[in-house]
Amino acid sequence: MKLCISEALDDLNQAISLSKGVGRSACQAFVQRAMIHRLHGDDDSARADFQKAAELGSSFAKMQVIALNPYAAMCNKMLSEVFSNLKKGKIDQ
């Protein structure tokens, strides 16, 4: 399996290089490479690739950039708790 992932990364790197990092092919390659980085726990590289794909127009990548932002994740968690408490009628005054 590692060989397949290594070959996939090589192919994605080549696609990004050939496309000069612009256009639909590059966008898709950045997203796919970011997913592989996430699979391996390399969130910094994943975030960078998702950011590039987001700049190229990927709405999925935009969502992933937000999800990988630790401050946004913390804020979303707090907001979810507030709305959950409001639905349950638990309001701190």
The pLDDT score that the predictor gives to residue 70 is 79
* Residues 17, 12: Cα–Cα separation, whole Å: 9
Question: Does residue 73 lie within any of the structural domains?
Answer: no
Q: What's the number of domains the chain is made of?
A: 1
The CA distance from 77 to 3, in Å, is 38
The residue that leads in pLDDT, 74 or 14, is: 14
pLDDT at 33 over 80: yes
**3-class secondary structure, 52:** helix
Q: How many helices (H) and strands (E) does the chain have?
A: 5, 0
Q: Output the domain CATH number for residue 26.
A: 1.25.40
Pick 93 or 2 by higher pLDDT: 2
Rounded distance between C-alpha atoms, residue 3 and residue 90, angstroms: 53
pTM over 0.85: no
Largest CA distance in the chain: 59
Residue 89 lies in a domain: no
pLDDT at 83: 87
Q: What is the residue range of 49's domain? A: 2-67
